[in-house]
A and B are shown apart, each in its own frame.
Chain A
Amino acid sequence: MSLLLVLASETVYAQMQTRVGILPIVNYNYKINKNWDINFRLESRHFVFENNISENSNFKYEYSLSDISALVGRKTGLNSKFVLGFLTRIEPDAVSYRTIQQFIFQTKIESFRVAHRIATDQTFSSNEATEFRLRYRVSAEIPLSGQKLDVKEFYFKFNTEVLNSIQDNVYDLEFRIVPNIGYVINEQHKIELGLDNRFESFINNQTRLISWITINWFL
């Protein structure tokens, strides 16, 4: 399986424009009461590698952006919630803002939990037209020891997402495939190491891949 993934990645890297970066994320979750919770998230993106088809590949550090967001969730059922939020994106030469709406529901298949997220968002900035996105993500958690995830245990988490966007009457499509290895430090903290592969611009036939090495801390 790992060999297949490596071979597939090498083929992909050779054929399309690829960028690789590091993406540390801090996710703070706070339960306000039995129905409401809040999520604060801080992430920062740093490119470290670039591979253009026409040019030689090279290692080059470049700061990309930072996101700060706050989401408020309201339980709508035993395993479902509706979420509203706001994100601020800080880039070296611009700041943009995003409003977010999500519906999340969970199911369980044998010993692993699956979460589905249907989301819309709107990104506003002073120098570009507003971008509207409709996205669907499915995330599965598989405990690596036993049938249930416990403290001091590892787990595998796999996210896959499809994103439709429209900006200035131009439609685009993006896919994300994100394998993660996680560890439950204690009841409050989890840490995940993953590879967030984003295949962008599918429609224009100029697909490029951005792979983020993610380190995600949940507290």
Chain B
Amino acid sequence: MKTTIIISSISFLLLFPFVSIAQHKYEREYRMKSEMIPQSAKRFIDSISTDLKVKWYKEIGLNDVSFEAKFKHKNKQFSVEFDTLGILQDVEFVIKKCEIAPKVYNKIKGKLDSLYQKWKFQKIQMNYTGSNNNLITSIKKNKPTDRIKFSYEIVLKGKALGNTHLYEITFNDQGEMQNIQQIVQDKADHLEY
């Protein structure tokens, strides 16, 4: 019986050889201690509020490395990205759909209706770019100042031609679509089987 099992095991492995990986996409992120973060990045976060509970992450992409601060402020989940020198890249925070101006929302809705048979928001983020001082004022006031450039980054479930996928779509402050990409979902074999 033991021999049968060993033979079965070997046959099993031989029948289904390893599938080679076509292209290795190198992307990682992991938690960092705040001592490892550039001072200028920490100063920016402290200038929003000194009471924030900040989690720092390092993100390593194929071509760049960045630091990201995640925290909750005024009941909103923020994500602030810096480069390795601590220079601010952008500020993002999660909003509800009712926080989008009705005129802009209608324009976004019209575009999504034209792209998908069915769609549903998964996450809406507002993205701010601008000078540090303007960004801090906007975050504190919970409203973008005139000199802030903002856009909406939307993750949604969309059904087109009978197939449902996750998409990340960027709309500018007027509700015009700027960018769209399909999100490749991570493998979940080890959770399913």
Contact = CB atoms under 8 A, between A and B. Distances in A.
B164 to A, nearest CB: 5
Contacts of A34: 163
A145 interface: yes
A149 B186 contact: yes
A218 B189 contact: yes
A218 to B, nearest CB: 5
Given A42-B8, A63-B1, A188-B18, A145 B30 contact: yes
B29 interface: yes
Given A78-B166, A106-B191, A30 B9 contact: no
A40 B8 CA distance: 13
B114 interface: no
A148 B191 contact: no
Nearest to A41: B193
A78 B165 contact: yes
A99 interface: no
B188 A106 contact: yes
B interface, over-half SS: mixed
A74 B137 CA distance: 50
A48 interface: no
Nearest to A159: B191
B74 interface: no
A164 to B, nearest CB: 21
A27 B13 CA distance: 10
A78 B164 contact: yes
Contacts of B146: none
A39 interface: yes
A43 to B, nearest CB: 10
A187 B8 CA distance: 26
Interface string A142-156: 000111111111000
Nearest to A114: B191
Interface residues of A, number: 50
Contact of A219 (B4, B18, B25, B163): B18
Given A39-B189, A115-B191, A150-B29, A30 B16 contact: yes
A78 to B, nearest CB: 5
Q: Which of B1, B4, B25, B192 has the most CB of A within 10 A?
A: B192
Contacts of A186: 21, 24
A87 interface: no
A40 B1 contact: no
A192 interface: yes
A153 B28 CA distance: 9
Contact of B192 (A104, A145, A153): A104
B36 interface: no
B193 A146 contact: no
B5 interface: yes
Contacts of A78: 157, 164-166, 185
Interface string B4-33: 110011001100101101001111111100
A104 B193 CA distance: 9
24 contacts: A27-B189, A27-B193, A29-B189, A30-B16, A30-B19, A39-B189, A39-B193, A40-B16, A41-B193, A66-B8, A68-B8, A68-B12, A78-B166, A92-B1, A147-B57, A148-B29, A151-B26, A151-B28, A157-B190, A157-B191, A186-B24, A188-B21, A216-B190, A219-B16
